[in-house]
Amino acid sequence: MTNLAVEKPDNLAPHTDRIPVGSPLYNQIVEHLYDEAALLDTLDLRTWQKSFTEDILYQAPVQITGRKSERLPKKRQMMHLFENYFSMEMRIHKVHDTAVCWAEEPRSRTRRLITNIRAWKTETENELSVVSYFLIPRNRFESNEYQILSGERQDRFRLIDGELKLARRNIILDMSVLSMPNLAIFL
């Protein structure tokens, strides 16, 4: 099976390749993530689509509660999302260009809160590894409650002509039973 997981540098090891908080490159990454959140929250998905590479792999593995003292039964890794450029286009088309995406019509109110951003240079010259946390409250219809998802994005960005393009996103969700009845929103 293709290994899509973005290598996450060991948090405690001293890094020479860390992109320091506040440095120009770090600031560019933060701006990019904030802008991306705004595009997703406003459903400006065609603009968002321009910010990823054509070989993008975008996935959200299913989480399983297991015990420290036991191994999990051996089987393939199930996904909630398991996407490439073509399938992302299908998803964007459905929610953006049709009026029959009932999971988002009327549309949800969402707020992507992106924090704890850490970034590293990688062995590939123009590629950056970026890890961030997210909290996404989603509100539907007149509900007085939020459907909330929190988790971690493990991203790989490619710098192309000075611009950041998303090439890999591995989404670690904090729930084994999702609080949302569907994932018709992008994470």
Partner 1 sequence: MDIATKSIRSLPNGKTLDDLIMRETREVSLAVMNDEELYQWELENLFGMGWNLLGHESEIPDANDYVVRPMGEDLVIVARDRQGQIHVSLNVCPHRGMRVALGEEGNAPAHKCIYHGWAFRPNGDFIGAPVEKEQMHGGLCSKAELGLKKARIELYGGLIFATWNHDGPSFEEYLGDAKFYFDMLWKRTDNGLEVLGAPQKVSIDCNWKCSGEQSGGDGFHTLSLHRWLIEAGLFRSDGDDPTDLAPAMYGINVSANGHNARCIPIEGTFDIAKKMDASKMSLEDRLYKLAPPGIHKELVPQLQKHLSQEQIELLVKSPPQVGGIFPNLNFLFVYAPQPDGEVLGAMAIHIIVPKGPHRSEFWTWMFTEKDTPEETKEKMLRNAVQQVGTSGLIEQDDTDTWPHISLASRGYKGRKDMTLKYQAILGESKPEGWPGGGKVFAGFSKDDTQWEWWEAYYAAMNKTYD
Any contact of residue 182 with partner 1 (CB under 8 A)? yes
Q: Residues 57, 84: contact at Cβ < 8 Å?
A: yes
Q: Residues 49, 89: contact at Cβ < 8 Å?
A: yes
Q: Residues 145, 175: contact at Cβ < 8 Å?
A: no
Q: Which is nearer to partner 1, 82 or 120 (CB)?
A: 82
Any contact of residue 146 with partner 1 (CB under 8 A)? no
Could you tell me how many residues of this chain bind partner 1 (CB under 8 A)? 43
Q: What is the dihedral sign for C-alpha 185, 148, 114, 35?
A: positive
| Distance between first and last Cα of the chain | 23
Contact pattern from residue 6 through residue 35 relative to partner 1, giving x for each residue in contact according to CB under 8 A and a dash for the rest = ------------------------------
Q: Which helix (H) or strand (E) holds 152?
A: strand 147-160
**Stretch binding partner 1 (CB under 8 A), from 5-13, 113-121, 159-167, 170-178:** 170-178
**Stretch binding partner 1 (CB under 8 A), from 17-25, 115-123, 162-170, 172-180:** 172-180
- Name which position in 16, 54, 100, 125 contacts partner 1 (CB under 8 A): 100
